[in-house]
């Protein structure tokens, strides 16, 4: 046995390193002493296992294998008699067991009966059962999957709607809308957050598969569930109203028609989602406007009541902005019952959209910092504010940003002002035939500024004289620039411009007469745009001209005023034949030239197409 073989046991040359300290010092594990080593090895032997295994290894010769493995141990055990004794007893026990088994096998003297559930024999059985179960479970899952695949394959090939359609629709939906998966649900996002909105509403919608029974023919297998507060349709209504009537009304919504039918080939969910997004957009827009209305300080405070903001833009003119949100389906009559008397203003509507989008954009894209370590700031100007030493006024200007409402009001004012002024000019041009008023509205302008060029001419005499005025319509005032560069600022009252134009028309006629007299060789004695004599005018001053015929014996005097119209008088020198004037004192014929009194011309009876024409004819007959 083991005692025959000589084995020398040596400790390892190098001790194991227990740890390396931070200074590089290695601490070794102290080598074990002989007895410690033995104890350690002895611990490794699993005696119980030996007992159970021992039943097969009966013969000492066979046991040698085991002994072989643990030769070292045995060698070391040798002084330990008890170990060998235990092994011996175990051998004896196994021998006995073998005998018992042999006897039991014959079933003559002994019968083995199952007493209790022995762990050993039952173990593999249990494992088999468990394996079987799990395998069948896996098979079930695979089978189900295969069934589903087969089903969808069949559906796909047959073209019927169902699961496959749902996925195709989902793919389509994914192309237009943001979707994400949360657990078993598919959630979508119709908010403007990704575009820079800071509105509180999450705008989450849910995508569900239409249940089989609820599916009507022609409906989509995919259904979207939108939050209840985004249902229906909404628009922002902007109305400018006089005390008497509505002047301009604007319905602003994301969609041109709040209730539109699905375009051919368009899935029904898209309509629903777009409508919901429209509601969200309107809500955000209105929330922003209402917030500004409350914050804004103005002489006449803004009224925010429920879903309506009211403010005064001009005396007696109100701007009201309302959020109209219809959640119920039956409201479509409302549109038809209120006939749209007033014109729809596309510019104002567009402005509303644009402004909110601009806010979004600026939220998303602040001025990029340069150099990049610079902090984010609202604008480039803010960043240089410190180093450039901006003063108090400039700093407050920096912080002041025009709100949406303020801009909307400005645009509304401008729109209204422009409408009024153009209307006035149109009426005036109809009213005043002589001279002619032509108005050219410039197509280029901004939402708060536009311009009109007014040309005053006398028909037939356009080449002689032309009066041009440039009218700049602003937000609250009107600026008129005349040809000589003079700027006249007028208030928002369009009558002021009317008066000015009437006055200009008068002046124009006098100026034309002046040019005409030059061409006809008449001599201008006097010309004034603001005649100081005569009756007091209701507006402005009359303009007047006096001119003498080439010979100097006739004088025409023209006084033209907007309120009284033209007043033409002619002065004739004394009649030549009238000798009674000749006295002894006045002998010289030159005194014949001294004018007599002016005689008014009955102007409405004078011949001629228009004023200038009449003057020309008059001049002709007096020359």
Partner 1 sequence: MGVTCVSQWPVPDGKSGQQAVEMLQRRLEATGATKAGSFCVDCETYMSGQSITPSKTAHVMHSTGHPLTCFAIMDSGTCLVADSNFDQLMTKLKGFYAPRKGAKIEVKGPRYEYVDFIVKIGTVTTGPTASSRGILVEVEYTPCVVPNDCWSLLTEFMGTFMGDNKPAIPQVLASKQDGIYSPTDTILQYLEHFNNYRKSTGNK
Partner 2 sequence: MSGGVSMQEYLLQGSVLDSSCETLLHRLRGLSDNVDTGPEAFVDQEMVYILRGSQTPPVMLRARRALDQPDSLPWQLRYVGTAEAGIGDKSRSTLVRTCIDVATSDNVTTFLTDMGFRLDHECVVKGYLFTKGCIKVTVSKIFRVTVPGNTENLEPLSLSHLVELSVVSPSGQDEVADTMKLFAEQLKPIVQLEKVDHRRLQQV
Under the criterion CB under 8 A, does residue 371 sit at the interface with partner 2?
yes
As a three-state string, the secondary structure of 42-101 is HHHCCHHHHHHHCCCCCCHHHHHHHHHHCHHHHHHHCCCHHHHHHHHHHHHHHHHHHHHH
Task: For residue 15, give the DSSP letter.
Answer: P
Query: In the structure, how many helices (H) and strands (E) does the chain have?
Result: 15, 22
296: partner contacted, choices partner 1, partner 2, none (Cβ within 5-8 A by kind): none
CB 272 within 8 A of CB 262: no
Helix, strand or coil, per DSSP, at residue 314:
strand
b/e burial code for range 99-138 (CB count within 10 A of at least 16 → b)? eeeeeeeeeeeeeeeeeeeeeeeeeeeeeeeeeeeeeeee
Report in angstroms how near the CB of residue 365 gets to partner 2 at its nearest.
Answer: 6
Report in angstroms how near the CB of residue 381 gets to partner 2 at its nearest.
Answer: 10
Report in angstroms how near the CB of residue 378 gets to partner 2 at its nearest.
Answer: 10
391: partner contacted, choices partner 1, partner 2, none (Cβ within 5-8 A by kind): partner 1
Answer for which of 129, 395, 524, 586 binds partner 1 (CB under 8 A) is: 395
Report in angstroms how near the CB of residue 382 gets to partner 2 at its nearest.
Answer: 9
DSSP 322-390: EEEEE-SGGGHHHHHHS---SEE-HHHHHHHHHHHHHHHHHHH-PBPPSSTTSPPBS-HHHHHHTTTT-
Report in angstroms how near the CB of residue 373 gets to partner 2 at its nearest.
Answer: 5
In 10 A of CB 467, how many CB atoms? 21
Task: For residue 235, give the DSSP letter.
Answer: E
Distance, in Å, from the CA atom of 159 to the CA atom of 152, rounded to the nearest integer, reads: 10
- The nearer residue to partner 1, 271 or 390, going by C-beta atoms, is 390
Report in angstroms how near the CB of residue 485 gets to partner 1 at its nearest.
Answer: 23
- Integer angstrom CA distances of residue 620 from 258, 516, 527, 602: 69, 11, 20, 17
Distance, in Å, from the CA atom of 366 to the CA atom of 354, rounded to the nearest integer, reads: 18
Report in angstroms how near the CB of residue 382 gets to partner 1 at its nearest.
Answer: 8
**Residues 373 to 402: which contact partner 2 by CB under 8 A?**
373-377, 380, 383-384, 386-388
Under the criterion CB under 8 A, does residue 563 sit at the interface with partner 2?
no
- The nearer residue to partner 2, 386 or 620, going by C-beta atoms, is 386
Report in angstroms how near the CB of residue 399 gets to partner 1 at its nearest.
Answer: 10
- The nearer residue to partner 2, 79 or 368, going by C-beta atoms, is 368
Under the criterion CB under 8 A, does residue 532 sit at the interface with partner 1?
no
Distance, in Å, from the CA atom of 197 to the CA atom of 357, rounded to the nearest integer, reads: 9
CB 520 within 8 A of CB 621: no
377: partner contacted, choices partner 2, partner 1, none (Cβ within 5-8 A by kind): partner 2
Report in angstroms how near the CB of residue 196 gets to partner 2 at its nearest.
Answer: 8
- The nearer residue to partner 2, 134 or 194, going by C-beta atoms, is 194
Distance, in Å, from the CA atom of 198 to the CA atom of 285, rounded to the nearest integer, reads: 11
- The nearer residue to partner 2, 78 or 176, going by C-beta atoms, is 176
Tokens matching residue 31: 């080598």
Under the criterion CB under 8 A, does residue 365 sit at the interface with partner 2?
yes
**Residues 375 to 394: which contact partner 1 by CB under 8 A?**
385-392, 394
316: partner contacted, choices partner 2, partner 1, none (Cβ within 5-8 A by kind): none
Under the criterion CB under 8 A, does residue 366 sit at the interface with partner 2?
yes
Report in angstroms how near the CB of residue 395 gets to partner 1 at its nearest.
Answer: 5
CA 394 to chain centre: 29
- Integer angstrom CA distances of residue 121 from 99, 117, 118, 124: 20, 8, 6, 7
211: partner contacted, choices partner 2, partner 1, none (Cβ within 5-8 A by kind): none
Under the criterion CB under 8 A, does residue 401 sit at the interface with partner 1?
no
400: partner contacted, choices partner 1, partner 2, none (Cβ within 5-8 A by kind): none
As a three-state string, the secondary structure of 450-497 is EEEEEEEECCCCCCCCCEEEEEEECCCCEEEEECCCCEEEECCCHHHH
In 10 A of CB 255, how many CB atoms? 16
- The nearer residue to partner 1, 142 or 395, going by C-beta atoms, is 395
- The nearer residue to partner 1, 378 or 491, going by C-beta atoms, is 378
- The nearer residue to partner 1, 187 or 385, going by C-beta atoms, is 385
Answer for which of 61, 368, 485, 532 binds partner 2 (CB under 8 A) is: 368
Provide the mask over 71-110, with x wherever binding to partner 2 is found by CB under 8 A and - wherever it is not. Answer: ----------------------------------------
What are the residues binding partner 1 (CB under 8 A)? 385-392, 394-395
What are the residues binding partner 2 (CB under 8 A)? 196, 364-366, 368-377, 380, 383-384, 386-388
């Amino acid at each position: 046995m083991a005692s025959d073989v000589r084995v020398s046991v040596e400790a390892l040359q190098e001790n194991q390193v227990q740890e390396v300290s931070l200074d590089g010092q290695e601490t070794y594990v102290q080598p074990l002493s002989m007895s410690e080593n033995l104890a350690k090895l002895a611990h490794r032997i699993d005696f119980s296992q030996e007992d159970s295994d021992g039943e097969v290894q009966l013969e000492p010769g066979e046991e040698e294998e085991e002994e072989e493995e643990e030769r070292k141990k045995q060698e070391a055990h040798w002084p330990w008699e008890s170990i060998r004794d235990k092994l011996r007893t175990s051998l004896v026990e196994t021998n006995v067991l073998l005998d018992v088994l042999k006897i039991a096998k014959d079933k003559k003297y002994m019968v083995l009966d199952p007493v209790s559930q022995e762990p050993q024999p039952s173990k593999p059985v249990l494992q088999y059962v468990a394996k079987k179960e799990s395998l069948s479970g896996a098979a079930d899952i695979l089978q189900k999957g295969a069934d589903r695949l087969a089903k969808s394959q069949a559906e796909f090939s047959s073209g019927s709607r169902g699961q496959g359609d749902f996925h195709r629709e989902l793919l389509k939906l994914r192309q237009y809308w943001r979707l994400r998966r949360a657990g078993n649900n598919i959630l979508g996002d119709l908010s403007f957050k990704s575009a820079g909105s800071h509105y509180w509403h999450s705008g989450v919608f849910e995508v569900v598969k239409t249940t089989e029974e609820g599916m009507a023919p022609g409906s989509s297998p995919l259904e979207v569930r939108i939050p209840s507060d985004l249902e229906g349709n909404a628009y922002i209504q902007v109305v400018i109203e006089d005390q008497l009537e509505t002047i301009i009304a604007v319905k602003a919504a994301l969609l041109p028609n709040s209730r539109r039918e699905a375009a051919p080939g368009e899935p029904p969910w898209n309509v629903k989602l777009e409508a919901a997004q429209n509601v969200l957009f309107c809500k955000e827009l209105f929330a922003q406007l209402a917030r500004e209305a409350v914050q804004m300080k103005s002489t006449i405070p803004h009224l925010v009541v429920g879903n309506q903001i009211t403010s005064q833009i001009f005396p007696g003119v109100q701007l009201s902005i309302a959020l109209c949100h219809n959640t119920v389906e039956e409201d479509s009559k409302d549109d038809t019952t209120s006939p749209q008397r007033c014109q729809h203003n596309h510019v104002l509507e567009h402005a509303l959209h644009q402004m909110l989008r601009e806010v979004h954009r600026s939220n998303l894209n602040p001025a990029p910092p340069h150099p990049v370590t610079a902090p984010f700031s609202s604008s480039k100007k803010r960043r240089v504010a410190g180093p450039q030493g901006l003063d108090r006024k400039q700093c407050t200007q920096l912080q002041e940003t025009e709100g949406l409402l303020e801009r909307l009001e400005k645009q509304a004012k401008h729109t209204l002002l422009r409408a009024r002024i153009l209307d006035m000019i149109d009426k005036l041009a109809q009213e005043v035939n002589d001279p002619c008023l032509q108005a050219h509205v410039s197509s280029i302008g901004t939402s708060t500024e536009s311009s009109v060029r007014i040309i005053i001419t006398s028909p037939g005499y356009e080449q002689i004289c032309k009066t041009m005025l440039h009218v700049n319509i602003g937000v609250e005032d009107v600026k008129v620039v005349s040809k000589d560069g003079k700027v006249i600022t007028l208030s928002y009252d369009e009558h002021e411009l009317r008066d000015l134009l009437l006055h200009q028309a008068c002046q124009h006629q006098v100026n034309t007469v002046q040019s005409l007299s030059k061409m006809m060789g008449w001599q201008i004695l006097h010309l004034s745009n603001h005649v100081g004599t005569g009756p007091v005018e209701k507006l402005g001053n009359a303009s007047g001209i006096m001119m003498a015929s080439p010979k100097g014996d006739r004088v025409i005097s023209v006084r033209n005023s907007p309120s009284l119209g033209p007043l033409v008088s002619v002065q004739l020198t004394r009649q030549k034949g009238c000798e009674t004037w000749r006295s002894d004192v006045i002998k010289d014929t030159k005194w014949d030239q001294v004018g007599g009194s002016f005689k008014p011309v009955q102007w409405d009876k004078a011949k001629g197409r228009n004023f200038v024409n009449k003057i020309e004819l008059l001049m002709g007959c007096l020359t």
